[in-house]
Structure formats: C-alpha cells, structure tokens
Amino acid sequence: MVKDHLEEALELFKSGYHCSQSVLAAFSEELGLPQETALKIACPFGGGLGGYGRTCGALTGAMMVVGLKYGATKDTDVEAKTLSRKKTRELIEAFEKAHGTSICNDLIGVNRSNFGGDELLAIRPIVQNTCPKFLETVITYLEEEL
C-alpha cells in the first residue's frame, strides 16, 4: 500500500521529526531527493527556525518542496524564479488565511525562543496536539499545486 503525503508526514511527525522534516520528507523522493537527505536539510528549520518560534516549520518544509518542484537551477532562469516565488507567496497567503499567522510561537501559544532541552520536552504534548493541522494545511496546498 502506498502512503499518502499527509499520512506519511503525520507518521514522521508523531515519531519525533520536526514539522519541516515531516513535510519535506513526505514529498522528497518523488521529487528526486533521498528522504535521509531531506530529513537532514529540513532539520534546522524545526521549531520555527532553529527552535526560535519564528516561521512555522510546516510552512518552511512546504517551501522547500516548492523549491524542489519549481526552483531555478540556473541563475538566468527568471521564469523558474518567478514561478517559485509566486507559488511560495500563494502558500504563505493560504496558510495565514487558514491560521491567522505563520509565526510558530503564536500558532502553538507558547514562546519557546529561550527554551532549553527539558523545557522543549515539556511542551511536546502541546506541539503534538497542535501542529498536525498545520501539516494538513500545507500538504493540502502542495497536493493541489504540484
């Protein structure tokens, strides 16, 4: 049985990967990027960019998927750059329309910008209960737009 993107992303997320990792990894192999490499690339984006609670990791992971699909590989490819930017802006707008913001701390209701290991573990239940809907939003967008 082939897993769908949302199912795969939610499994990865529930097993302990960041939102950014879960989204990128769910799409990576079909876009030519090994899943292990995708998990490494997206790792620093978790927790809102390095755990600072800034831009939502589900959103940044989805942006990486947009880049894999539409990104420029030549500096002169203005068409690809334009399309990638357009798709990214549409993604951000759809996400913010659905959730009111794209800032991780605001989305989960916790300012974790100064948290260390034990404090991050303590809020894990909040993250596990809150973030799946953000994964669903970006994956729905990606499936409609890719």
Paired residues of 55 in beta bridges: 103
What pTM does this model have? 0.94
97: Cα separation from own chain's centroid:
16
Neighbours of 114 (CB within 10 A): 9
Give the model confidence (pLDDT) of 96-123 as tens digits. 999 999 999 999 999 988 887 788 878 8
For residue 73, what is the enclosing H or E element? none
DSSP 8-state class, residue 4: P
Give the SS3 label for residue 124: helix
Report the distance separating Cα 73 and Cα 80, nearest Å: 8
Rg (CA), the chain: 15
Q: Across the chain, what does the average pLDDT equal?
A: 94
Neighbours of 49 (CB within 10 A): 16
Instruction: Decide: 58 and 137 in contact? Cβ < 8 Å.
Output: yes
Task: Pull the structure tokens for residue 145.
Answer: 């737009």
**Which residues of the chain are under the pLDDT cut of 50?**
1-2
Q: What confidence tens digit (pLDDT) does each residue in 11-25 have?
A: 999 999 999 999 999
Spatial distance between the Cα atoms of 80 and 126, rounded to a whole number of angstroms: 38
Q: For residues 19 and 144, give the distance between their C-alpha atoms in angstroms, rounded to a whole number.
A: 19
